[in-house]
Amino acid sequence: MTALELFCGAGGLTLGVSRAGFEHLAIIERAATACETIRQNQERKHPLAAVWPLHECDVRDFEYKRVAADVDLLTAGLPCQPFSVAGKSHGNKDKRDMFSEVVRAARELQPKAILIENVPGLMRTTFQDYLNYLRLALAFPTLTPTSYTDPSRGGRLKRVDQLSESRKYSVHIHMVNAADYGVPQWRKRVLIVAFRSDLDVQWSLPPASHSLDALLWDQLKTGTYWKRHQLNRVRLGKTSRRIRGRRRLIQKAGQPFSDAKPWQTVRDALRGLPRLRQGQRDPQVLNHFINRGARRYPGHQGSLIDEPAKVLKAGSHGVPGGENSLYLGRNRIRYFSVRECARIQTIPDDYLIAGSWTQAMRQIGNAVPVRLAEVIAASIRMALSHTRTIEVVDEEQQQSAGCPEVTTLDSRVA
């Protein structure tokens, strides 16, 4: 199956979609350092990046008629600054809001499916009207924006059932925590998944494969977690406030609450990496250097090693001291290395992040966790594969009944 990606950045979403079995027809990015990351991995013959057709340009200038084949999946890790709680929250008034470009791509390419990732801030009450507008714009990408409003009601948005259009999409919007899918990071994100309605795709969000309860059970009850790391310690030390309540419940429980796999922690993510002191570099491991100067300040005190990491951030004024660092105890913290951050984002060890330390950390903070992208893309691929199988069966039935042969891209691929 084929994919096309907007705002690919350093390639987190691209890696996950490739792992799920999609072949990219084009990936588009304008940031020079992110493009350099992809080019360097292509020069190093990375098994996935080597075949990506990179277009270093502004998405607004890209002409989709350059794409010769049909697109099965359109993906976009959109700029999050307009909707981020940490930003100015100007939403669609921010010039960095690029949702309109995804709608343009959907209108011109008419892909079978769409996958968009953004920050949880998009679902705040402040942006509720805009999110409803986006739902309609993606559901009916070939209609003009004026088609979504009803002048007789003061320009309010119409209901979907009031709109009539042959090429429309069913749109699903979900909030997910990447930790629930095996990413060693407490990273909540909004996923928008859409399917062309004529395909009649039956899709639902993949169930969580990992849980906090399973992690706490292994740490507090069985000790499996500590044995895995060859530690004699059997008592969990400092924990963050957000999981303290679950910890008390698990301590009182007589049996596990969950049969899922345990959440992955920072200790799990860093397992096997050489341990370095601040200022040290390991020349044998890509991007493994511990920079100096990490500082604690209220609300930003580093990730705890036996929990998923705090959400890694790109930082608008340099590398964030609290989110991109590790708590060492006794009020001490240190920065994560670029490679450690890549591990936390489930970026493979053979994937190089180009640029200075600050540039590399910004690319990783902006990336979509590879494992999350792979799980969601794989579920989309499975849903599309089912529709393709049905189409082939239908064509065979038509031919056996004396109908003329129908040749489509779907039947050829299937």
DSSP 91-147: GGGSTT--HHHHHHHHHHH--SEEEEEE-GGGGSGGGHHHHHHHHHHHHSTTS-GGG
Query: Of 371, 382, 378, 255, nearest to 308 (Cα)?
Result: 371
DSSP 301-359: --B-TTSPBPPP---SSS--TTTTEEEEETTEEEEPPHHHHHHHTT--TT----S-HHH
| Catalytic residue check, 80 | yes
**Given the DSSP bridges, would you call strands 54-56 and 261-262 parallel, antiparallel or unpaired?**
unpaired
Find tokens 């008034």 and name the residue. Answer: 93
Which residue in the list 35, 80, 341, 403 is annotated as catalytic?
A: 80
What is the C-alpha to C-alpha distance for residues 274 and 28, in angstroms, rounded to an integer?
A: 35
Count of residues in the chain = 414
Q: Assess contact for 26 and 47: CB atoms under 8 A.
A: no
The residues annotated as belonging to the active site are 80
